[in-house]
Amino acid sequence: MKKRKLKSFVIPSIVSLIAIATLVTGVVLTSNSSMKETDEPATYVSNIITSNDIAVMDDDVKIINPYTDASVTLAKTFYDYKADAKSQEGSLIFHDNTYMQNSGVDFVSENVFDIIAVLNGEVIDVKDDEVLGKIVEVKHENDYITIYQSLSETTVKKGDKVSQGQVIGKSGTNELDKEIGNHLHFEFYINGQVVDPMLYLNKELNTKTE
């Protein structure tokens, strides 16, 4: 049997095809290699961006006062362990023959005034306490919780979403601070720790406080 021979003009064409095929194969392999190198980081970044596990507010959000009435004044301050003796004395509560340290601040006015949410959040509790009066607790992003006590009435219920500035109740009186009269007792918690509200009210979230 005769061996088949390739004609001379066919050989250059085959060589060209082989060269092209080799070049295409190299490009594909390089592309696949690059994709493999970036697959994991791309997925990782995407997961972080779309994750709902950690929700935070923008740094430029300003925490507002829990009231809008211009007649409201500060009657009793937060008890600070680092403050001088005179300041601490003004932050004590005397009830049932016992002195207690004030865990918030008390805002007063001769007239009943609207109580508003200082930030967007969700109402996590509404209750009526014999000593503290009506209470509203609101959870915000960034692990903030605000508590509004001594209310005469409430306008929200547990599970409600509230917007910053929304009215959630009205000021009133309670048995614990009855000598103050009509007022709001306001507390501020961060990561479960009570802090002086005056360090955060009317400040942006990115403001550093001591």
Q: Which domain holds residue 31?
A: 1-54
Tally the domains of the chain. 2
86 and 38 in a common domain: no
Q: Give CA–CA dist 87/85, Å, rounded.
A: 6
82 and 41 in a common domain: no
Give the per-residue pLDDT at 59: 61
98 and 9 in a common domain: no
pLDDT in tens, 26-57: 444 444 444 444 443 332 232 323 333 334 55
Does residue 124 surpass a pLDDT of 50?
yes
**Is 204 domain-assigned?**
no
181 and 152 in a common domain: yes
Give the per-residue pLDDT at 92: 77
Does residue 173 surpass a pLDDT of 60?
yes
Give the per-residue pLDDT at 116: 98
**Is 20 domain-assigned?**
yes
- Threshold 0.85, pTM exceeds: no
Q: 117 and 164 in contact (C-beta within 8 Å)?
A: yes
87 — alpha (psi -120 to 50), left (phi > 0) or beta? alpha
**Is 63 domain-assigned?**
no
Calculate mean pLDDT across residues 84-104. Answer: 80
Percent of the chain predicted with pLDDT > 70: 70
